[in-house]
């Protein structure tokens, strides 16, 4: 009779493992796309300068102003806004911030990691990626002018502190055990399970808070 629970458990573990691999591949594609855009912009830099010189030579200042506006808008989409001191964290945060802004979501981020982390890049990628994906999904239910995600990361003694807060369209959620009740799809549930599993594996701490119009996740990860 104990065979069925074991088979069910293995099936869930296989699904979570598959979801994790898919998530990591998605994150790396997003990061690579961001850097591809940056490389492309740098490659075109000389052409941009030559174009503006041509406008300047003809005295067409209106065309120069318009061209500068277009460049400013284009550069904003690939601007590296976060420099934490940890390359992998920079990559995942900047790719997600770029994705959020493309969806009309304001992101306020303050992240500093002045020491070398002992947490693996894979684990950090899964945690940050899931937190951002959940926050982006919840934000899209709001009018664009109300969409906001706040991210804060820093060292607290020997622990990495991560805080994500996003505005939501719903009221305070009901807590079921360690997590809040959700009506989201299967992938959303796997994301939460994966975060909890990583935090537990690293002997960390996680706290989730729900209020009317806002949801917050706080995580502490030892870096000994």
pLDDT tens, the chain, 224 aa long: 455 455 556 665 666 566 566 666 665 666 666 666 666 656 666 677 777 788 788 888 888 888 777 776 666 555 556 778 777 788 788 888 888 988 999 999 999 887 788 888 778 888 998 899 899 999 999 999 999 999 999 999 999 999 999 998 877 765 655 555 554 544 456 778 889 989 999 999 999 988 888 999 999 999 97
**Burial readout 123-145 (b: 16 or more C-beta within 10 A, e: otherwise):** bbbbbbbbbbbbbbbbbeebeee
CA–CA distance from 195 to each of 11, 52, 65, 126, 207 (Å)? 19, 49, 47, 7, 11
d(Cα 158, Cα 168) in Å, to the nearest integer?
Answer: 32
Tell the residue number behind the tokens 């917050």, with chain if given: 216
**174-180 long-range contacts, CB within 8 A, separation 24+:** 175/210, 179/208, 180/208, 180/210, 180/215
The pTM (predicted TM-score) of the whole model is: 0.66
d(Cα 143, Cα 176) in Å, to the nearest integer?
Answer: 28
End-to-end, the C-alpha distance of the chain in Å comes to 43
């Amino acid at each position: 009779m104990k065979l069925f629970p074991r088979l069910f458990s293995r099936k869930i573990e296989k699904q979570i493992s598959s979801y994790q691999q898919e998530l990591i591949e998605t994150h790396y594609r997003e990061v690579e796309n961001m850097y591809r855009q940056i490389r492309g912009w740098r490659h075109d830099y000389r052409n941009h300068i030559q174009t503006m010189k041509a406008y300047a030579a003809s005295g067409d200042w209106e065309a120069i102003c318009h061209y500068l506006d277009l460049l400013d808008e284009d550069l904003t989409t690939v601007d590296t806004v976060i420099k934490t001191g940890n390359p992998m964290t920079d990559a995942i945060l900047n790719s997600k911030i770029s994705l959020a802004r493309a969806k009309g979501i304001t992101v306020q981020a303050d992240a500093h990691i002045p020491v070398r982390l002992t947490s693996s890049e894979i684990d950090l990628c899964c945690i940050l990626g899931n937190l951002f994906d959940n926050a982006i999904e919840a934000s899209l239910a709001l009018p664009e002018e109300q969409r906001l995600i706040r991210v804060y990361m820093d060292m607290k003694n020997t622990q990495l502190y991560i805080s994500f807060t996003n505005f939501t369209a719903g009221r305070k959620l009901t807590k079921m055990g360690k997590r809040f009740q959700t009506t989201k799809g299967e992938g959303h549930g796997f994301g939460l399970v994966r975060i909890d599993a990583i935090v537990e594996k690293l002997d960390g701490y996680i706290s989730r808070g729900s209020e009317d119009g806002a949801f917050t996740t706080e995580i502490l990860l030892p870096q000994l």
